[in-house]
Amino acid sequence: MEGFEEQSDDRPALFRPLRVHDLNMLILYSGREAYVLSHLEIQWNNVKDWKPEMRYKPGGSVSRGEVEQRLADIERIRRVL
């Protein structure tokens, strides 16, 4: 797909661990884990278990309301990162 080509792996090895979809690891790497867990615990608990494979669930597996809530929670967390 145009615009979504895999990037070559010529970046320094130091940055390779950051190329993950594991939200628990990414929040740890952000340095804001303590803040998010203490101030946005409800929002974090709603989104922390997301996995890339969830994108391929059949339509209707998650309600529109659940999706909208998760997106709102992600946005709220993103603002403090």
- Residue type for 18, please? L
pLDDT digits (tens, 9 = 90+) for 16-71: 777 888 899 999 999 999 999 999 999 999 999 988 898 898 988 989 999 999 99
Domain spans of the chain? 21-80
- Inter-residue contact 51 to 23 (CB < 8 Å): no
Residues 5, 7, 9, 12: what is their CA dihedral angle, to the nearest 10 degrees? -170
Whether 4 shows a pLDDT value over 50: the answer reads no
Q: Which pLDDT score, from 0 to 100, does residue 7 have?
A: 56
- How much is the pLDDT for 17? 74
φ/ψ of 56, rounded to 5, equals: -105, 10
Of 53 and 9, the one with more pLDDT: 53
Q: Which two tokens stand for residue 71?
A: 């997106």
